[in-house]
Structure 1
């Protein structure tokens, strides 16, 4: 690899402006590149909490519609909308590449396609960072995979499960496995006890919670069904659901609240919506759960819960299988068998000692295999290999 020049220019595109897992890794990636001498320009489709965090890093941020792919656009009108939006975005980004003398374009998530087309047109390297597992529809995985393969110099996958999912349609030699990492320091000490934000009936109860986007596959409804079954046998439990929906899909939250009500669980489940104090929430929990009903690529909240020394119960597919050591740092459970999950959960509910031991093992595992330093070194190395080849 050639010696690094003092400064280089990278254009980074991201499909969201929230502060969930992929956005948190986006911030860390920027910090990594800045530490290696990169000047970073970011383009987002919309304003949001991510922007203020980018401003703290003194990043040049532009808000311009990138034509992000969402399921709501999978119809004739939506496809036409995306084509028009992407065409405009290509012109905007091409001008930005010229103005900033961009050396490389980086696109975070498979929903951001325009960056690859612009990079190919401008004859500069493009890196696609994949955080998704797409099982169906098969045509969508093939379409996105072919586009990414034809427009990317390198593809980063956040887990082996993600790599395997895309290997059939993207040249496997292009795909590099780079596990996400987190800064553990915020999870060591409880700054604010969130009990004050819960109903009085939740005091002195075992708290079981999940933190995730509210959508059709993250498993909020499954979580409610599991909670209902557990409450038949235990009166010392309270459940938390944290997270909001993508803009335009707020109906998922309405459906969630209706499901809680119809299940008769309003006194046992608290929905906290979107929160920024994730570390404090995790430190207040006794058990963390992520019951995704479809494979989750490498859910950052699992790493965060492990860093907070909490036992993790996650469904046995996707990246969770590479994070949770079944029976040691938590449990891997079925994504379609409520009673089986309940029988496993009993072990943690009835044994504070088991919860503590698994939490300790989880924290040690994050430190050893998913540290922030390891991630930052691997990520910047993969990018710099293209900039200075």
Structure 2
């Protein structure tokens, strides 16, 4: 055993939920891909659930310090006044902060990395009480179209004073924070995990490939050419939780126009309602029925095999009606070599290059979305090239290894700053002590001379 080898820094990651939303997927990807020889990740969750199970299965140290659901399940659209949080909830938060502070100190956390808006506020106070640097990883656009105006103003203000460093998932997210230039902040795109399958494995279902194997000249087995796009069933998918701002209704209205020209097209809506949005799910099922699309649309519900489902799509559609902070699913589709049609809001234009890796369309515009889908289906050669360029771009800019390395460098800088500050404090203490002792000696000498 090499006793002189440097010990990995202990980074405590904190999230208020264990449900597998986009932020939690990004957290899982990050902590399972950091260099464990340099960083020892410790994850603390304020509730139990799938994320804890997945982290444990991946060999990551994880702890659940439960916080009452009346706090963890507060919806952002209720934060419209100072009365949105009750005295009882504030009392629970204060006690929880003190408990979390004790855990940070006992576990020897050197950096605290908060992963969600609720986690940001709780972890920042606990870390400050411990004297530990805290990072806010902001994965949501802090704007009035996403949060109530009061919550937006408060979060922007706190963002200037509480965290030591701010990481954001896109330039679009950074712009909504409106923080001064001197505030330490950096755009680091969410890292997406690619499962390593070669590109050809993403092209079609293996059962379809077997159907194209034919016997050629001299008995050799050859692959028959793919059927023309108009001669086979096409599959277009939208991935994401069922929510009013995700635009499933726009997707369905666009689908109704597409099938008029491509009646062999089928559509998948991959995802389910979360956070009490079941009423909207019933509403869009009714829209599907009203548009007579039931024979064309498949509702998969919540799925854990999203990469496999994406691999079977001809193209992926992103239909969000308000600006998406990043667009994880869009990157996953590009990793799989799929062309993308996406709404031009939030961080999406930083991912999709219009006309090169897909098409960007205005938000809330079903006719424009339908036109883009039809244009892509009419030119499968161009669509295939877009998918190839998208795969290259995703690998170069959004791979998880790149993200983990950039965040690790942030940790290094924070620790260097912290150690420098501690040395300066010791120097100041020494200088102050020397000044006091020197002054006392001078006073004693003067007194003796008198």
The TM-score, its normalising length taken from structure 2, stands at: 0.78
Count of equivalent residues: 380
- The CA deviation string for residues 161-206 of structure 1, in whole angstroms up to 9 with x for no partner, is 111111x24665321111122232345435994999xxxxxx9421
Partner residue of 2:407? 379
Whether 1:24 aligns to 2:25 is yes
Counterpart Cα distance in 1 of 2:47 and 2:406: 29
- Within 5 Å, give how 1:143-154 maps onto structure 2: 143-154=154-165
- Which of 215, 219, 224 is equivalent to 2:243? 215
Counterpart Cα distance in 1 of 2:273 and 2:92: 23
Partner residue of 1:200? none
* Farther-moved stretch of structure 1 (358-367 vs 14-23): 14-23
Partner residue of 2:127? 119
- Within 5 Å, give how 1:141-220 maps onto structure 2: 141-166=152-177, 168-169=178-179, 173-186=183-196, 188=198, 189-190=201-202, 193=205, 204-220=232-248
**Contact 1:162 1:319 (C-alpha < 8 Å) held by counterparts:** yes
**Contact 2:80 2:151 (C-alpha < 8 Å) held by counterparts:** no
- Greater relative contact order (Cα < 8 A, sep 6+): 1
Counterpart Cα distance in 2 of 1:71 and 1:378: 30
Whether 1:64 aligns to 2:66 is yes
Counterpart Cα distance in 2 of 1:6 and 1:165: 38
Partner residue of 2:36? 35
| 1:192–1:16 Cα change, 3 Å | farther
**Contact 1:242 1:274 (C-alpha < 8 Å) held by counterparts:** yes
- Which of 79, 83, 97 is equivalent to 1:74? 79
Distance apart, 1:10 and its partner CA:
2.1
**Contact 1:194 1:284 (C-alpha < 8 Å) held by counterparts:** no
The TM-score, its normalising length taken from structure 1, stands at: 0.89
Counterpart Cα distance in 2 of 1:194 and 1:223: 28
- Within 5 Å, give how 1:189-338 maps onto structure 2: 189-190=201-202, 193=205, 204-338=232-366
Partner residue of 1:353? 381
* Farther-moved stretch of structure 1 (42-51 vs 108-117): 42-51
- Which of 133, 137, 144 is equivalent to 2:141? 133
- Which of 79, 85, 94 is equivalent to 1:87? 94
Counterpart Cα distance in 2 of 1:313 and 1:382: 34
**Contact 1:17 1:47 (C-alpha < 8 Å) held by counterparts:** yes
Partner residue of 2:51? 50
* Regions of 4+ moved over 6 Å: none
- Within 5 Å, give how 1:103-114 maps onto structure 2: 103-112=110-119, 113-114=121-122
* Farther-moved stretch of structure 1 (171-180 vs 183-192): 183-192
Query: Aligned Cα RMSD in Å?
Result: 2.6
Partner residue of 1:102? 109
**Contact 1:107 1:127 (C-alpha < 8 Å) held by counterparts:** yes
Indicate the SS of the match to 1:124. coil
* Farther-moved stretch of structure 1 (342-351 vs 37-46): 37-46
| 1:107–1:236 Cα change, 3 Å | same
| 1:118–1:328 Cα change, 3 Å | same
Distance apart, 1:85 and its partner CA:
3.7
- The CA deviation string for residues 315-344 of structure 1, in whole angstroms up to 9 with x for no partner, is 011111001110010000011222122222
| 1:221–1:45 Cα change, 3 Å | farther
| 1:294–1:58 Cα change, 3 Å | same
Rg larger in 1 or in 2?
2
Counterpart Cα distance in 2 of 1:351 and 1:23: 37
Indicate the SS of the match to 2:32. helix
Counterpart Cα distance in 1 of 2:5 and 2:393: 33
Counterpart Cα distance in 2 of 1:43 and 1:190: 36
**Contact 1:8 1:103 (C-alpha < 8 Å) held by counterparts:** yes
